[in-house]
Structure 1
Amino acid sequence: MELILNEGKLKFVIFTVFMIGPVGASYTDFGFIQDKDGYVNVRESSSLNSKITSKLNNNEVVSCVMDEEANNFCLVNASNGVSGFVYKNRINNFTGYTSIKLSQYSIEKVVFSDKKLIVEVYAKNTILDPKFCKGEYKYFNGNIFFGTDGSLPENNFL
């Protein structure tokens, strides 16, 4: 993630979402990795005995899909393409951060602002490189995962 400080505005060049949704039986949330070791292990399944497939460093922003049946693990997806299960207490859901109100919204850009800060979030075009598109699907609870209910997610930031 590249940040540019310019005339009091904090601009996010790469698309990053910092919204927190309501808690439910199954939900998607966003947060960042926070562990005393400086990284977390990403596992193949929701078990401490599961194979470690990769690692994520502190401060990496991830989406986290929680499910009551998945113990204390969440299915994470990181901007660097890493996907797998992480113990949920290793993810900080922006606890302790000040909430900033939405002031502008479009397909390409969202602006959050208060008296002292303006945050602009931009969408980045998809990279359609065939080496990244292998036609593989990830499954969650036995279903192809397109949102938490099996359908395509809405194009909303909140």
Structure 2
Amino acid sequence: MKPKFLSLISFFCCIFTINAQYKAPFAIIKDKDGYVNVRENSSIKSKIIDKIYLNQVFEDQRHFGSSTRDWIYISYGVKYDKKTQYFKEKTGYIYADRILYLENLPQLKKRVINKNNIEFNGNGIKMILKFGKFNNQFHIIKKSNGYVEKIDNEIPWGIDGILPEPFIEIKTIHLIINDKEFSFPKNSLQGIYQPTTENIYVSTRSALSLFL
């Protein structure tokens, strides 16, 4: 997962695996306290290892962990392991009834302009995305054991450690909310790859919380 923030707008990009039609079950929390505890194991008595906060996006990974009806195994970012000198996923368990899936939130209407341009509209919000081919000359690629570890010092999402062909990146995101315009800085789009007109949608929790 890769959270992005612009001013007061919470913005999250999720790109799915390039070799499957699997739609990752991304979610946020619903809790009046504004956070939920992440536990080491699927039990209320298990050690609290972290917290998930309001509008922080995570992925339901119940097919990997020891999930139960009440406790769901999730991943929610990465951490650096000093011992192995690799980045590892942050994982744990949260209570099932605190989960709000992005696909169940209101969604902006999508209009495909062409294979490299998409427009989303609704409730005074317009978002325009432009894609394009990745150019190696303008990026720094770091590999480890033959796999891509970082691109421009960011962990890449959507490529599973291998540079595909064609290799597509998001070039620009332009956002208009009630006639006020926002443009995302180039460095905020780093690490997000292989978007298509099929695998992107925009969910809204409010005018200030958009999830892409």
Using the size of structure 2 for normalisation, the TM-score is 0.41
- How much has 1:111 moved relative to structure 2? 4.2
Q: Is the 8 A contact 2:69 2:96 kept in 1?
A: no
73, 76, 92: which one pairs with 1:84?
A: 92
33, 46, 49: which one pairs with 2:45?
A: 49
Superposition CA RMSD, Å: 4.5
Residue 108 to residue 73, structure 1, CA distance change in 2 (3 Å): farther
Matched, 1:93 2:91: no
Alignment partner, residue 145 of structure 1: none
Q: What code does the residue aligned with 1:77 have?
A: S
- How much has 1:87 moved relative to structure 2? 0.8
Greater shift in the superposed pair: 104-113 or 89-98: 104-113
Residue 91 to residue 109, structure 1, CA distance change in 2 (3 Å): farther
Q: How many residues matched?
A: 122
Distance, in Å, in 1 between the alignment partners of 2:5 and 2:55 is: 13
Q: Which has the higher strand share?
A: 2
CA deviations over 1:53-105 (Å, ceiling 9, x no partner): 11111221111234595222222222465421111111222487422233249
Name which one, 1 or 2, has greater alpha-carbon Rg.
2
Distance, in Å, in 2 between the alignment partners of 1:11 and 1:32 is: 12
Alignment partner, residue 6 of structure 2: 3
SS in 1 for 2:61: strand
Gaps of 5+ in 1: 19-26, 133-153
Alignment partner, residue 150 of structure 2: 128
Residue 71 to residue 30, structure 1, CA distance change in 2 (3 Å): same
Matched, 1:59 2:55: yes
Distance, in Å, in 2 between the alignment partners of 1:61 and 1:28 is: 12
Residue 30 to residue 11, structure 1, CA distance change in 2 (3 Å): closer
Residue 47 to residue 17, structure 1, CA distance change in 2 (3 Å): same
Q: Is the 8 A contact 2:119 2:126 kept in 1?
A: yes
Alignment partner, residue 13 of structure 2: 16
Alignment partner, residue 26 of structure 2: 30
Gaps of 5+ in 2: 16-22, 80-89, 132-138, 140-147, 156-193, 202-212
Distance, in Å, in 1 between the alignment partners of 2:40 and 2:6 is: 32
Alignment partner, residue 150 of structure 1: none
Aligned-pair identity (%): 26
SS in 2 for 1:85: strand
Q: Is the 8 A contact 1:46 1:85 kept in 2?
A: yes
